[in-house]
Amino acid sequence: MLIAILWIMWMTGYESTISGIDRAVQAFLANPSLRSWCDGDQAKVQRFLYEALRHDGVVLYTPIPRIAVSELALGGVTVPAGASVRMLIAGANRDPRVFRDPDTFDPTRDPRRMLSAGNCCGTTLGRAEMAHVVTGLQQRFPTLVAAGEPAWSPATLARRTLETLPARLG
């Protein structure tokens, strides 16, 4: 049993970090004017990563449903008792009532209102790994540019992952 739990923890941490790196590199390629955010100042790199995850999050919705114990009104909709409810994280991170111009990539945003920042024990390690990759990419390949459209894998387990992200040295 312990081995199964450790395997699940390793796989979920690995997949989330890899997908987060995908989002950060995709944002890096799509926003060349913002590359200075990835020049090594760790506070700025972290803001860039938070925005990459807000703008195009890895987790689309909460994978474990919540069950309404009684009837309640939620966003103008009546949810009956016993109904399964899931939070659409990707939608919440694009809510115009919370984020000014939510479809624009803007690393100057306050990251405290984002739901994609994560709250598990591996979040800090994952963001450190993401920061290392994005900073290293900027330093080693400063002329890297997008070379086509990304290809997406089918969404599974409430996640959306990249299959390919074409890039070339410019």
The 10s digit of each residue's pLDDT in 37-69 is 988 789 999 999 999 999 998 888 887 888 999
Question: Which two three-digit tokens encode residue 30?
Answer: 């799509």
pTM of the model: 0.82
Q: CA 80, CA 73: separation in Å to the nearest integer? A: 9
Which of 82-86's residues contact partners 24+ apart within 8 Å by CB, and which partners?
86/61, 86/62
Distance of CA 158 to the CA centre of its chain: 12
Question: Which two three-digit tokens encode residue 129?
Answer: 């790994």
| pLDDT, tens digit (0-9, with 9 covering 90-100), for 87-106 | 888 888 999 999 999 999 99
pLDDT at 68: 92
pLDDT at 91: 86
DSSP for the chain reads -HHHHHHHHHHHHHHHHHHHHHHHHHHHHH-GGGGGGGSS-HHHHHHHHHHHHHHT-SB-S-SSPEE-SS-EEETTEEEPTT-EE---HHHHTT-TTTSSSTTS--TTS-GGG-STT--STTHHHHHHHHHHHHHHHHHH-TTEEE-S--EEPPPBTTB--EEE--EEE-
Name the CA dihedral angle for 35, 141, 26, 6, rounded to a multiple of 10 degrees.
Answer: -110
Question: Which two three-digit tokens encode residue 23?
Answer: 């989002």
Mean pLDDT on 3-27: 76
Residue 38 identity (one-letter amino acid):
C
